[in-house]
Structure 1
Amino acid sequence: MAKIDEFKSHIEQGYTFKGDSIILGTAVLDQEPIPHAQIHIPLKTLNRHGLIAGATGTGKTVTLQVFAEQLSMNGIPCVLMDLKGDLSGLAMPGKLNSIIEKRCELIGIPYEPSGLPVELMSISGEKGVKLKATISEFGPVLISQILELNDTQRGVIALVFRYCDMHHLPLLDLKDLKKVLQYVINEGKEDIQKEFGAVSSATVNTILRKIIELEQQGAECFFGELSFDVNDFVRTSNGKGVLSIIRLTDIQNRPKLFSTFMLSLLSEIYETFPEEGDSGKPKLCLFIDEAHLVFSNASKDLIDKIEAIVKLIRSKGVGVYFCTQTPTDIPEKVLGQLGLKIQHALRAFTAKDRTAIKKTAENYPITSFYNTSEILTSMGIGEALVTVLNEKGIPTPLAHTLLRSPITRMNILSQEEIEELVNNSFLVKKYNVEIDRKSAFEILDEKITRAEIDSEKEKDAHPSQRKSHGRPPKETSIFEELSKNTMVRQIGRTIFRELSRGIMGGLTGKRK
């Protein structure tokens, strides 16, 4: 009993905050939930980013759902990248059952099912608001990082953007970028050389192949107009934060497109949002599910860019939360920026797994109440180790936590419900319009066509350039005509050679 009292006091001291907070669950000691030993997360520190990790089937996605619910209930809008299609149920209220009822009693909170304001979005063929961005908005640096270009290739991309700026050529989609690159080494080669110097055809062709690789992952659906205004993420409805769910179920096997989109989104938010200072709660929270897809195929430059944005974006009042299987899926430089950690169970099937678990345990505060390595392999579904930053930025004590149940549906929406949600969206009407205005592709096409027509007209207007200054053509003999024909010349040489051999052979025979 004394141990339980000591533990309760330990939790109360670590998880009691002056400002507003959300309840994540209740603490567990010796496999038994401790009633009313609630685990709170202060809203003030939610822009310090976080991690939700754990093996498959341990409840990571439900935890993400619970977390997003509580943020929305506190008026904080969220962006959720849904790669498995599990999060659309946030739009509908949940249903009470005996398991949920018992869990609510242990945690000490009532169960109040509720649907939340949800906006479905997509960067591919899924239904919802179409998210797009232009090539110009990406800029030469980001485009080069996404395509993983070397210094020479980056110089060519910078040249292309500069040339387009000088000649008012809008770069809207990949078709425009490819057209300008082709123009640089073909029709516009002389003009480019006068302004910028020679450009290697081999370098441009390498860049074009990298663009084609990006196209094969479906990027042509993402680049174009109308560009999405990230301020439309920051909305509330009846005091609840709008949850923008980006449906990515059809791009799981296209990590290049996923990382491209995620990096562009973070960059746009960072460049657009004003500095917030030290506010009482974040302006926006982003949840990136299956985060290993972002980093497993990313170059060093891309990881450095993500790290820089994660470091700086919190000053804009934005929190970023990565959801993945193990903390080792996240680069150490990025992992070091994550203040909140929710660690679900890990599985120790091999010696390598056991080594990984020991390393994972080292990422968490030392506690006298748990053997962290053992707890990591023994937790059940809906349980996790939790540590957050308190209002002074100090990590709270590690707490084995029984997580609260979602108040929304723990299942996906039906097609009819999705249709209704999409049809009632004013953002769908704003962004889901086909725009293909005159851009670099069309302008350069017209320029090339005009140049060809002018060239033909010039030839017709000055026939003397093709004939000898108006003098009648000289009559040529049949032998001269034949000599102009390459094939005839070759046949002639062959016949002459054979005749020569015959004559010489005959002469030699006579001498004998």
Structure 2
Amino acid sequence: MSEDIFIGGGGVDYAEPQGLSLGYANRHGLVAGATGTGKTVTLQILAEGFSNAGVPVFLSDVKGDLSGLAKPGTADHKLHEPFMSRAEKIGFKDFTYHACPVTFWDLFGDQGHPVRTTVSEMGPLLLARLLELTEAQEGILNIAFRLSDEEGMPLLDLKDLQALLVWIGENSKTLSLRYGNVSSASIGAIQRRLLVLENQGGAGLFGEPALELADLMRTDANGKGRINILASDKLMQAPGLYATFLLWLLSELFEELPEVGDPDKPKLVFFFDEAHLLFDDAPKALVDKVEQVARLIRSKGVGVYFITQNPSDVPEDILGQLGNRIQHALRAFTAKDRKQLKLAAETYRENPRFSTEEAIREVGVGEAVTSMLMKKGIPGVVERTLIRPPSSQLGPLSVAERAEFMVASDMAGKYDETLDRTSAFEILKERAEKAAAEAAKSEEEAEEADTPMLREFNAARRYSGKGVTRSTSRPARVNPTFGEQMTKMVVKELTGTTGRRMVRGILGGLFKGR
């Protein structure tokens, strides 16, 4: 089964090898099961299998357990004997301990190399999802992105977007005539959401240098696919940020990768752990986008695998596209649980030897009900499968070990320092400073020149006595007398800067006298 990734043993006495065909690995998949049933180990052995086959992997490490992929397992581990016994039982004769080439990433830059994108690359749809905006607020966000393009003001980080929203608020009347109502209340709501995101640490996601997708699709010197592990234990405290980032990454892969049809093996395999966070309270437009990406990214040579507790966490239209399935145990304590268990069993091709529904309820830890795509993409008959033991370390690396891998990584230094080139924030700041300098210069020149009162007085003196003037296009107008001119002059002066100073001085004197 050289063309397959060995998953475990099935059939009678678990003697029949069960594998995932590389040729159909880009048809996507599902790993489901209740907490504590073995999903993490299954994810680990799948990542090992793809890496050994030369396929790069990207996965999120929600619990911090998957960093052990970077080290080989050892014979002194407490599970060594059970692992060897299981390998013998399922006919895994080539089982050995070995490490995988791993690169660590972290949106916060603590447990891995920083991962960034720009606000422009994220786009208004995903950003609106991240900020949980209303339709009206999303409309203003779309205006901001349009103005960014038209005015040549790149949106790279959060302060760029915040500055542009301030500028939109200051020019709301003019912009409303062209783009529709621009409400200051909606702008304020977006700014508050951006502040919350900033407080959650999301500001580190936006900026430069932005992540290059090619850095996720590499092999090592031995031809093994590099496993990219995103530290997500801290990121899970902001589930919206977690889901939005991974969806952005999928979208970027879809947009940038060329069509390859059905390759012999995937160009990249993407594991989305805690997949229900992607769909919880998601607007229909976003779910439609996920469905589109899942349906079409297959032809780009990318396989997407969702890991979640229950298949019902994934929308039905997307679930129908997941051909390779590994179902760990589901608990049925309530009527709703029993209904979901029955629905999950009905999605598999029946095996006459056992009841799929009963098997899903009865399989133990490290065991699963599996169904993989066969020739021509036909779903295989469901089997009870004993999952093979992992070759890499079971459990996380220590903090010191992870730091050593990061220092030795070929990505060290490439993304560590943030770049801050000229963008919307700097452009708007420069405009504001230039306008302030011009205003100050004009005021200074006005103070140095004759006072407005003197200029009005001279104009009135020149025009007094000239009498009536006529125009061929307008009716005759009588020039104001000198007294009327002086009255207007004084009123105008009092409404100007000097007048305001005079009034403040007079009122100040009155109040001081009391």
**Scaled by the length of structure 1, what TM-score is found?**
0.85
CA contact 1:214–1:256 (8 Å) conserved in 2: no
**Deviation (angstroms), 1:245:** 0.5
Structure 1 residues 88-487: aligned runs within 5 Å: 88-96=67-75, 97-110=80-93, 111-186=95-170, 188-189=171-172, 192=175, 199-237=182-220, 238-463=222-447, 467-470=452-455, 485=507
Q: CA RMSD in A?
A: 2.8
Shift of 1:465: 9.5
> For the Cα contact (< 8 Å) 1:104–1:404, is it kept in 2?
yes
Q: Does structure 2 retain, via aligned residues, the 8 Å contact 1:92–1:409?
A: yes
What is the CA deviation profile of residues 296-339 of structure 1, one whole-angstrom value per residue up to 9, with x for unaligned ones? 24332222211111111111000011111111111112111111
Equivalent-residue separation in structure 2 for 1:88 and 1:431 (angstroms) = 20
Q: Which amino acid aligns with 1:468?
A: M
Number of corresponding residues: 466
Alpha-carbon distance in 2 for matches of 1:59, 1:357: 18
Letter in 1 for 2:213: V
The equivalent of 1:12 in structure 2 is: none
Cα separation, 2, equivalents of 1:179 and 1:483: 38
The one-letter amino acid of 2:219's match is: T
1:239 shift after superposition: 1.4
Which residue type is aligned with residue 89 of structure 2? L
Q: Say whether the 8 Å CA contact 1:128–1:428 is kept in structure 2.
A: no
Sequence identity, in percent?
Answer: 42
1:70 matched to 2:49? The reply is: yes
Equivalent in the alignment of 1:7: none
State the Cα distance separating 1:379 from its structure 2 match. Answer: 1.0
Deviation at 1:420, TM superposition (A): 1.1
Q: How far has the Cα of 1:196 moved from its partner?
A: 5.3
- Amino acid across the alignment from 2:40: T
- CA 1:134–1:465 in 2, change beyond 3 Å: closer, same or farther? farther
C-alpha spacing 1:101/1:177, structure 2 compared with 1 (3 Å): same
Contact kept in structure 2, 1:388 and 1:395, CA below 8 Å: yes
**C-alpha distance in structure 2 between counterparts of 1:488 and 1:275, whole Å:** 82
The corresponding residue for 1:5 is: none
SS at match of 1:385: strand
Deviation at 1:367, TM superposition (A): 2.3
Distance 1:344 1:486, change over 3 A: farther
**1:109-146 Cα deviation digits (max 9, x unpaired):** 22211111000111124321211001122233443444
**Structure 1, gaps ≥5 residues long:** 1-16, 493-512
One-letter code of the match for 2:412?
V
Match of 2:14 among 29, 34, 37: 34
The residue type paired with residue 131 of structure 1 is: V
Give 1:75's aligned amino acid: G
- What amino acid does structure 1 have at the position aligned with 2:33? G
Corresponding residue number in structure 2 for 1:501: none
Q: Verify: 1:46 aligned to 2:31, yes or no.
A: no
CA-CA distance at 1:204 after TM superposition: 2.1
1:488: how far off? 7.5
Amino acid aligned to 1:34:
Y
SS at 1:287 equivalent: strand
CA pair 49-404 structure 1, distance change in 2 beyond 3 A? same
CA distance in 2, matches of 1:488, 1:57: 81
Which stretch of the first structure deviates more once superposed, 199-208 or 433-442? Answer: 199-208
| CA spacing shift, 1:483–1:150, aligned 2, 3 Å | same
1:198–1:80 Cα change, 3 Å: closer
- Please say if residues 9 and 387 of structure 2, whose CA atoms lie closer than 8 Å, have aligned partners that are also in contact: yes
Q: Does the residue aligned with 1:453 lie in a helix, a strand or coil?
A: helix
Alignment check: 8 A CA contact 1:58 1:344 kept = yes
Could you say which residue in structure 1 is the equivalent of 2:6? Answer: 23
**Does the CA-based 8 Å contact 2:207-2:418 persist in structure 1?**
no
Q: CA deviation at 1:215?
A: 2.7
Q: Is the 8 A contact 1:94 1:409 kept in 2?
A: yes
Q: Secondary structure at the match of 2:229?
A: strand
Matches of 1:451 and 1:190 in 2, distance apart? 20
SS at match of 1:368: coil
Q: How far did residue 219 of structure 1 move? A: 1.5
